[in-house]
A and B are shown apart, each in its own frame.
Chain A
């Protein structure tokens, strides 16, 4: 026991763990930040509850009737459906119509009275989806056809005008919302965040750490002792991977708590995949940092490797939107491989046998880069 406590590998592990845990920034970026990100993006894209859309109505008489005003289709519609009337501090007039829908989520339409120029400014600023006016009982809708939100507002509202009955009996019965777990954005996002966390943690935690110790001449001091060189790297990587496990575990626990995310596939497969992904990135990180003692260069290298993968590997959105010719390349990125694999286990219930090949490839990537890195490694 005492012998083990005095062993260099254990003392190196302890030193690395202490260094890591005593750095508050590490805890923030490693644990708090991914959770905040999942919360932010998850709420923004998953819990599609009620939406509010703003519609400009040109002509005050279409919102309220003053003596002498002629008939108005819009006004009649709003009055018939009891759209609440509001008067702002500046005297601006608006009406509000709430359309509940428990399948697609309710919509609150806010009709604001404006002149044409103000409406155009608001439209450009993105404060409006739609501009309406009416001429002799004929309604015109003005909106940017390239803007899907505007299109949707137009389709929804014009349909509502034609079939006011929808206000009482909202979505048609043939709509069967797929809200089972696994199809929401958050289900897509969380596995990606876990993988991205592993990549970033290895890049900064392993690469940057090595480069910094080299630039401080600490590596040189260490190898001037009987320390085994491999122990140094093994300890660094062990601590990192342990940390990554805890980070991923916390993120998973949190997203289970808040979003009810579950792992549908095999848990041992997930563990295997997670470890091989970690090893792949740790190997790459060692390789990246094997030769330079300038932290600025390290910085650049890390960004050079991680930025493209963050964008292309389908962490935040599916990479299937990229041109077809690029897909075979994108699929070969380690981050893509890991994210696809982990996501498959999470939401497509991939089994153990299906992950063996990709896991083996990632392990091989890690081992090859680690070995090459160790060969080229400059200790001073």
Chain B
């Protein structure tokens, strides 16, 4: 990539009491790039993403967003980031549109943008519904809508399609694909679905135990696998991401 990285992660570490959740990760993400973080449960995806989001502080290492550290630039950086957390529950007794209005107001945005976003994520029918009465998938789409309100330069989605049926998942992919075509937003998403990474992202990072096992474009990962492991000697190079993943982590990538 020739352009300056919008997100630069340099040798980042993070521990919780006894768990060394992230152990020395380096990552550069460029404008318009869609990156998937793939990894089994407990790999450290959420911890890494939340450090990039400025919600958690790394113990060691550096994170730069558009060249700036979080410290001292929080106000400015918050404006250009959109995100959805792995688990957020909005205010139960607020209607869907009211929820959008509330979050829009944090960015100084009004009704019009809320209407746009509501249409974008296909929730017009649910405009007046209380958040508590939305289905799981509708809630995920609302969370995505909230993340998109400020037309973020950087979008960070933590498992945006977990728990959705295949149809709803495809709808979310469509929304994100449209976004990719229409803007230069950079995206990091974490997922357990190979297909999601393959369909949506042009760069895939496989992590486990807090370190990057392998990263690259899909063809990179599958084709030019130079580090030949024992298994490959028997079976040849992996033919899809699933096989590669099992090979790398020794486990399946299911929730």
Residues of A within 8 A of B (CB): 2, 5-8, 10-12, 14-15, 18-19, 22-23, 213, 216-218, 220-227, 380
Q: A8-B108, A218-B91, A220-B88 are in contact. List 19 more A-B contacts (CB 8 A).
A: A8-B105, A11-B101, A11-B104, A15-B102, A19-B91, A19-B92, A19-B93, A19-B94, A23-B93, A216-B88, A217-B85, A217-B89, A218-B88, A218-B89, A221-B85, A225-B106, A225-B150, A226-B79, A226-B108
Q: Quick check: A8 and B106 within 8 Å, CB to CB?
A: yes
Residues on B with beta carbons closer than 8 Å to the beta carbon of A223: 55
Q: Are A220 and B55 in contact (CB under 8 A)?
A: yes
A226 lies within 8 A of B106 (CB): yes
B198 interface hit (Cβ, 8 Å): no
Is B208's CB within 8 Å of the partner chain A?
A: no
Residues of B within 8 A of A226 (CB): 75, 78-79, 106-108
A6 shortest CB reach to chain B, Å:
4
B148 to chain A, nearest CB (A): 13
19 contacts between A and B (CB under 8 A): A6-B111, A7-B105, A8-B105, A8-B106, A8-B108, A11-B101, A11-B102, A11-B104, A15-B98, A18-B93, A18-B98, A19-B91, A19-B94, A217-B89, A221-B85, A224-B81, A225-B107, A225-B150, A226-B78
Cα(A216)–Cα(B108), bound, Å: 25
Q: Please tell me if B83 contacts chain A, counting CB pairs below 8 Å.
A: yes
B173 partner residues in chain A, CB cutoff 8 A: none
Nearest-CB residue, chain A, relative to B93:
A22
In angstroms, how far is the closest chain B Cβ from the Cβ of A377? Answer: 15
The answer, yes or no, to whether B181 is at the interface (CB within 8 Å) is no
For chain B, the bracket of interface size reads 20 to 34
Is B103 part of the binding interface, using a Cβ–Cβ cutoff of 8 Å? yes
| B233 at the A interface (CB under 8 A) | no
Q: Report B52-84 CB contacts with A as 1/0, cut-off 8 Å.
A: 011100000000000000000001001101010
Dominant SS among interface residues on chain A: helix
- Return A264 CB to nearest CB of chain B, in Å: 41
Q: B107 — which chain A residues lie within 8 A by C-beta?
A: 225-226
Say whether A6 contacts B104, CB under 8 Å: yes
The answer on a CB contact under 8 Å between A217 and B106 is no
- Chain B contacts of A5 at CB under 8 A? 110
Q: How far is the CB of B21 from chain A (nearest CB, A)?
A: 16
**Chain A residues, CB < 8 A from B103:** 225
**Known pairs A6-B110, A380-B55; A220 contacts B85 (CB<8 A):** yes
Contact A18 B106 (CB under 8 A): no
**A217 and B87 contacting across the interface, CB-CB below 8 Å:** yes
Contacts A18-B98, A19-B93, A225-B103 known; A6 to B87 CB distance under 8 Å? Answer: no
Nearest neighbor of A379 in chain B, beta-carbon distance? B55
Q: How far is the CA of A22 from the CA of B98 in the complex (A)?
A: 13
> Are the CB atoms of A224 and B91 closer together than 8 Å?
no
B109 in the interface (beta carbon within 8 A): yes
Assembled-state Cα–Cα distance A251/B199 (Å): 62
> For residue B109, which residues in chain A have a CB less than 8 angstroms away from its CB?
6
Please give the distance in Å from B49's CB to the nearest CB on chain A: 11
A6 & B108 in contact (Cβ 8 Å cutoff): yes
User: How far is B79's CA from A10's CA once the two chains are assembled, in angstroms?
Assistant: 19
**B108 partner residues in chain A, CB cutoff 8 A:** 6, 8, 226
Nearest residue (CB) in B for A22 is B93
Q: Which of A2, A19, A216, A224 contacts B55 (CB 8 A)?
A: A224
Q: Mark B173-188, 1 if CB is under 8 A from A, else 0.
A: 0000000000000000
Q: State whether B106 touches A227 (Cβ < 8 A).
A: yes
